[in-house]
Amino acid sequence: MSSGMDSYWYVLVATGLLLLVSVLTRAGYFVFGDHLPLPDAVRRALRYAPAAALTGIVVPELLPWEGGLAAFLGIPVLAAVVAIALFWRTRNSILVIVGGMIAYWMLNAAVWLLG
């Protein structure tokens, strides 16, 4: 019975420490940002952070994890091609999200209906 309570306290303390570290690291820039300005090189590099984060989320979902041509022509890849074409044509982020999801749902429905 004691091992159940030990694991409970372990999870509780670990979660609390993770919360503390997360708050301190995120709040550090807001608290000390005026007193410790970032160099210009770091500011320029941080402009690419949102694109790098989005790429890190999207690309692993699109990479084939098994061999063959079917892996490259999967539904997520085709929906991503539609989304990229929409962005290239319109430069509208909302249309990219909506159009990519509609393409994904329609391709899934077509595969389901055609068996």
Average pLDDT over residues 55-65: 84
User: pLDDT tens-digit profile of 10-51?
Assistant: 999 999 999 999 998 888 777 877 777 888 998 899 899 999
In terms of residue numbers, what domain contains 12?
Answer: 1-37
Interior CA angle at 30 toward 25 and 34, to 5°? 125
Amino acid present at 102: I
Is 64 found in the same domain as 9?
A: no
The per-residue pLDDT for 99 is 96
Q: Could you tell me if 56 and 28 lie in one domain?
A: no
Q: Which two tokens stand for residue 24?
A: 């301190």
Question: For the chain, what is the domain count?
Answer: 2
Average pLDDT along the chain: 87
* Among the listed residues 18, 20, 46, the one whose alpha carbon sits nearest the alpha carbon of residue 33: 46
In a domain, 97, yes or no: yes
Neighbours of 25 (CB within 10 A): 9
User: 25 and 70 in one domain?
Assistant: no
